[in-house]
Each structure stands twice: as C-alpha cells, then as structure tokens.
Structure 1
Amino acid sequence: MRTIISGRPRSARRTAARAAAATVLATALAGGTVLLSAPAALANDSVRSAKLRVNAPAAVGGAGQPVEFTETITNTGSRAAVFGLALSTTSDMGTPPHGIAMEVRDRKNGKWRPIALDTGVHDGKVSYSAYLPVDVTIPARGSVTVQLRIGAPMGRPHDGASNGGMQSIDLRSAVAAPGSWVAMDQVTRTIKVQNIAPSLSRVPSTAVAGGAPIEFDAVLKNPTPSNYVNVANVLFVDPHATVQVRRPNGTWTTLKKVYNGIPGESPGVYLQGRDSGIRAKSTATVRVRVSYDASTPLGPTDLGRCVFVNESPKLPFRGTTTCAKGATVQIVAPGGKGTKGAKGQAPVKSAPAGKGNPAGK
C-alpha cells in the first residue's frame, strides 16, 4: 500500500520539491546570484559533481530566427548521475514581451521544441529563465552535449514589437542535480544583438517630371548569423511616383503603392512582397526604377528606406522596424530646369510605424 500524506504521494512531493528547487536556481541566475556548490551543501551527495562548457553564439539577429549552439555537461563525479540545466537571460529594459526565445533539440526524434520561459524584472533588467532536465544518465567521467537555440524574435510571427530593443543578451547557464538549488558549475556569455541593414545605392540626383524613370539599387544586407522570415522590404516614395522592379528574367514589374491610413504619410511599396526572407550573412539587391508623372511638384522629394519584420497583416508598415538614410531627388521640368526652393511632397517619414530601431541597433 502506498502511504499518502496531505493527499499527495511521496513521488509527487519529490517532483514538486525538485521543480521548486529548479525554479529557485533559474530565478537566482536571472538575478545574477552566484550559487556555487559548497561542501556543506553537498554533504549528502559527495560523489556527484559536474563541469559545464557553453559554446554560445557571439551574436543573434534582432527579430531574426534563433541561432544554434551547444552546452556540454561533464560528469566529474565517481558515479553515473542525472543532471539538469538552469538557463536564464538578462537584457535591457526595452526588451519587449516575447523578446527572447530558446529551443532544445529532442535527443530522441531530433526535432526542435520551444522551451517555456518565465519572465520578470531584476535590478533594472528584463529576465527570461527556465530549468531544463537532461533526460539521460551521464556515466562517471562522461559527457553529454545538449543542442540549443537562442534568438531575439522581438515579438511573435506577424506581431513584431514596434518599440523597444536591446543591445545584447547575457546568457547564464548552470548545471545542477535534480531537485537542488546549488549550481555545481555556471557560465555566463554575452551575445550581441545585430540588425539587418537596408540602404539605397547609386540614386540619381535629379528626375524629370513626366520624363524617363531613374534607376538605382535597393540593398538589404544581413550581417547577422540569423535567418530572417516575414520580412517586408519597403521603399517609401512620392504619391506621384511609379515604382518598378526588375525580375530575374529581366522583365520589369510595376508595384502597388500602399498607404498606412495616416494623413500626410507617403506611400510605400513592397520590393519583394510582404513576407520575404533573407539568409544569414547574405545580401539581397533589387534593381529599382522610379518615374514621376507630369503633375509632380518641382523641387526635392524623398525616397525612404525601411524594413519591417513580422509586419501586422492588418496594419501596413507596423512591425519590428529598421530604417536607413534615404535619398533626396530633385524633380525638374522637361529641359532640366527646376524651381529653386520649391518643395514637392512632404518628405517621407522613414519609420511611420515605429521610430528608431526597435531591434536594438
């Protein structure tokens, strides 16, 4: 017969105690508390000890996909044992909800699954933390490598944060025995948060109202180790402009101008659709030509350049936003003469739905 105390079997109480200890350890790590093992704390477990090696990525892409890394637990004790990992991150107060994500690769089926993270605020920093059981017995002097991924998604798919950001992530990892709040070993790594970078290249300084189009390149560079999905690569233009892009087969396609519904905002065009992507450490270049109709006011008009990640399907140009310096084109009359001092459409606002750089740059 199984003895039950307070309505809970012993196995349930042991599981609850282990979970509570794991939560204490993960929370302490998130707050920067050092919980190294002491002889008195391990008097009842003198044969169990471990070392931890963390090969964290040097950087991740803000609003990009998670980046793979590994953590290796070495059993330095004299007997086979089971261990767990306490993982936590701290980052700037601008870190939005769903700003950090971690995944683990299942040792049995090889699939990636998300790690449920608790979040809070400690000493002026946003923290995310979790305790990850390692469901394998490690032989004495043996090692097990856990495959993990970490990212700064800055929101959820098609719901990217339009404000906030972070410069870096401090990742703290600790190895402990199941049910213990004492870290046998712990490692801290700082991960930079980098951004994709839109730009314009070789934009002519003048264009003729009602004349031939001007041509230039719209460049999107991804220097980060993250792949990106749900990318809206946008060029903002004068309402009088017609924008075309050259396809791989050499033909030109006219793009639809999209307005965000805010009075005074200039329209934008999606150079590669609303949900394009760009791979890590790569550059995408789109050849663009822009013409201005005969009614375009003479004088300066702007070309604005932004990229939105996880743009809202109902709100154009709202998502995790990175903008770059655009270009000013002087609109002149046929024959090459403009109206000195005359202004065309009000300058394009580079970040109509999220000023600055929420991804952290």
Structure 2
Amino acid sequence: MAGGSALLSAPAAFAADDVPRVKLKLDAPAVIGSAGQPVEFTETVTNTGSKETNYRLYVHAITGEGLPASDAIVIDYRDPAGGGWKSLKLSRFGEGRGAGYGAELPKALAIPAHRSVAVKLRIGLPMGRPHAGATNGGIPSLVLDSGVAGGAHGVPADRVSKTIKVQSPSPSVSRVPATAVAGGAPIEFDAVVKNSTPSNYVNVGNVLFVDPHATVQVRKPNGTWTTLKKVYDGIPGDNPGVYLQGRDSSLRANSTTTVRVRVSYDTTTPLGQTKLGQCLFVNESPTTPFRGTTSCGAGATVQIVAPGAKGTKGTNGQPPVKTVPGTKGSTAGK
C-alpha cells in the first residue's frame, strides 16, 4: 500500500532525540450501514513532546474478503484548515483475512508542543455507485486500524485499532391477518423498516412482493389510499413487487419507518397459501428492477379462502378472517 508500509514495518535505528512523542485517540463508530452513507468519526493527535512536530496520519480498513471489486468502501476526511469533505485515494493491500484498503492523509499535521489536533473523517461501505449497487457480497465487520508517524525518521509512533460492525436495515411485515377471502375485503397490516445503524440511506426501494392476483394500496398521510403499480422483473414465475415508497426513498439513521398497507385478492386467486415478502434494494439499477444491494425480511404467509368459508388459523399469530353470510367482504377477528 502506498505510504502505508511505515506502520507495518519494524522501526529503523534512530537517535533518542528524534523519537516522536505523540498520542493517537480514535473515536470510531461501533456500527456502519451496509450500502449506507458514510459515518463521521474523529481521530485526535496529541503532541506530547517539547517541540512542534509534523505528523503523518494513516488510516487502514481491514475488511478481509467478500466486498465487490470496486467502489465498495470509502474513507473521507475534512481538512483541519477548513473546507468540505474529500475522499482519500485508497490502495488495496494484503490477501485473505488481512486484506483491506488504506491511505495516508495528504497533508502532514504540524502540531505545537503539548497541543492536539482533531481530524474529522468518515467511513462507509457504499457497495457500489448510485443506482449501480452490488448484488452480492458483504462483510459482517471491519477493523479500522489507524496510526500516526513523525520525527526525523517517520517512525511509527502510535497506533490504534477498533472493530466496526456492518449491519443492514431490517424490513418486516407486522400483524398480517392469517387469512384473506378471494374477492373479499382487503387485509390490512404494517410494512416496517428499522434502520438501527448511524448511516443515512438514499436510493432505497422498499418493495413488497405479492401474488399476481393481489391489489396493493398504501395509506397516505391524509388518510386516503392509493393503489400501487405492480412491477415484474421479467423472470417467468416470479411474483410482482410494488414500491411502497417509490424507487428512490430514503431512511434516516437510527429510525423506524412504517407504511400502512392493505392487500386484496381477486376472485380468480387460487385458494391456499400465498406469500407476502418484503425486501430493500439500495442503489437499484434504473433499468432492471429489484437489482441492487439487497436485504429481505422473513415475510408472512396468508391463507386464501373462498367466500363463505370458515376462518382458519394461519401462521402470522393473528385472528382468523370470518365472513358474514349474505354480505360481500369480511371482517377480521370479529
């Protein structure tokens, strides 16, 4: 890795007066989001010596194998002298479990004696470019390994490591009725997305997969319902999906998003079990639906019954649907 070998090699002989006296503190995030936006952190370099010294700061992300070949990781920095975020030019190093990416900050830090400089950085796993997200791969964690070097010989002076977990938002369907009537009233439930990471998300497709005979509606903030268009991926036999919040929705860090959904099944729906599945697609391809960095929930199973049939116990922990003779539709749990 260019510029990074100083931290990994044994120090050469040097005079005692040249020993760099420095302390490095790393306040790295505990978690970042897979395919999410980068998360800020701080590295503080303290000159504990008696004279002003120039120090070089190195940042390594030891990721191991499992990431896409390109655009998988980003490390940005903010110049201590002011300015916006700039991306470090990362170099690949190592193999297997020791593989990773790293770089040296382009400017040395001139730190007076007994003073500190705080460097703002951020790290993320975009897993591809906007609207060109990776469709496989991923890692459960990475090790952020940072070091500072200084003095006449550029000798490694201090080094700190921290493990950062990598998590994805969790989609789930909540309180789904166990049965639905073919040609009857819709069933109602919540589609939930929990983002427990400090990463914001953009370019998110929150998709509910349904039977081809289903009609899906979502409730707007004003209480009205709107019908969603079913989208097919072109693969024979695959069920269609609907975008509950559009193809380019967003998720805030450490947030939970709930969409109220209702699904009805027409009279031609085959009786028996049908599936409801929910997945998130980040940086989905604009030309190919349901292709991007993907995370899916467990979904739910709904039993489709004929009009007038007695309610049957399903798999979702909900009361059965009971139909009222001589009326059209159904009521849940009454």
* TM norm structure 2: 0.88
Q: Which amino acid aligns with 1:24?
A: S
Change (3 A) 1:207 1:312: same
2:276 to 294, 300, 303: 303
2:155 to 174, 177, 182: 182
Change (3 A) 1:241 1:165: same
Shift in Å at residue 159 of structure 1? 1.3
**Are 1:79 and 2:60 matched, yes or no?**
no
The question of whether the paired residues in 1 share the 8 Å contact of 2:18 and 2:151 is answered with: no
Partner of 2:5: 24
2:202 to 215, 229, 234: 229
Please identify, of 257-266 and 129-138, the stretch whose mean Cα deviation from structure 2 is larger: 129-138
Q: Which runs of 4+ in 1 moved over 6 A?
A: none
Partner of 1:113: 86
Shift in Å at residue 136 of structure 1? 4.2
Change (3 A) 1:327 1:47: closer
Q: Which amino acid aligns with 1:173?
A: S
Shift in Å at residue 133 of structure 1? 3.5
Identity of aligned residues (%): 62
How many matched pairs? Answer: 311
Partner of 1:218: 191
Partner of 1:262: 235
Q: Which amino acid aligns with 2:75?
A: M
1:65 to 37, 55, 61: 37
**Counterparts of residues 43-62 of structure 1 (less than 5 Å):** 43=15, 46=18, 48-62=20-34
Partner of 2:101: 128
**Counterparts of residues 149-298 of structure 1 (less than 5 Å):** 149-177=122-150, 182-298=155-271
The question of whether the paired residues in 1 share the 8 Å contact of 2:76 and 2:88 is answered with: yes
1:332 to 291, 295, 305: 305
Partner of 2:64: 92
Shift in Å at residue 181 of structure 1? 5.5
* In 2: Cα distance, 1:175 partner to 1:87 partner: 9
* In 1: Cα distance, 2:19 partner to 2:32 partner: 38
Q: Which amino acid aligns with 1:163?
A: N
* In 1: Cα distance, 2:152 partner to 2:125 partner: 30
**Are 1:101 and 2:43 matched, yes or no?**
no
Tell me, which stretches of 5 or more residues in structure 1 are unaligned?
Answer: 1-18, 340-361
Partner of 2:328: none
Q: Which secondary structure state, in structure 1, belongs to the residue aligned with residue 5 of structure 2?
A: helix
Please identify, of 59-68 and 45-54, the stretch whose mean Cα deviation from structure 2 is larger: 45-54
Shift in Å at residue 134 of structure 1? 3.9
Q: Which secondary structure state, in structure 2, belongs to the residue aligned with residue 124 of structure 1?
A: helix
Please identify, of 290-299 and 330-339, the stretch whose mean Cα deviation from structure 2 is larger: 330-339
The question of whether the paired residues in 1 share the 8 Å contact of 2:20 and 2:155 is answered with: no
The question of whether the paired residues in 1 share the 8 Å contact of 2:19 and 2:151 is answered with: no
Residues 220-242 of structure 1: CA deviation (Å, up to 9, x unaligned) = 00111111111110100001111
Q: Which amino acid aligns with 1:306?
A: C
The question of whether the paired residues in 2 share the 8 Å contact of 1:92 and 1:126 is answered with: yes
The question of whether the paired residues in 1 share the 8 Å contact of 2:20 and 2:151 is answered with: no
Shift in Å at residue 43 of structure 1? 2.2
Q: Which amino acid aligns with 2:18?
A: S
Tell me, which stretches of 5 or more residues in structure 2 are unaligned?
Answer: 313-334
Residues 11-37 of structure 1: CA deviation (Å, up to 9, x unaligned) = xxxxxxxx96x2433xxx5xxx4x465
Shift in Å at residue 151 of structure 1? 1.2
* In 1: Cα distance, 2:288 partner to 2:151 partner: 47
Q: Which secondary structure state, in structure 2, belongs to the residue aligned with residue 225 of structure 1?
A: coil
Shift in Å at residue 178 of structure 1? 8.0
* TM norm structure 1: 0.81
Q: Which secondary structure state, in structure 1, belongs to the residue aligned with residue 156 of structure 2?
A: coil
Shift in Å at residue 78 of structure 1? 2.1
* In 2: Cα distance, 1:146 partner to 1:152 partner: 20
* In 2: Cα distance, 1:214 partner to 1:58 partner: 40
* In 2: Cα distance, 1:179 partner to 1:233 partner: 55
Partner of 2:112: 139
* In 2: Cα distance, 1:104 partner to 1:143 partner: 17
Shift in Å at residue 163 of structure 1? 0.8
The question of whether the paired residues in 2 share the 8 Å contact of 1:75 and 1:142 is answered with: yes
The question of whether the paired residues in 1 share the 8 Å contact of 2:18 and 2:153 is answered with: no
Q: Which secondary structure state, in structure 2, belongs to the residue aligned with residue 184 of structure 1?
A: strand
* In 2: Cα distance, 1:23 partner to 1:223 partner: 33
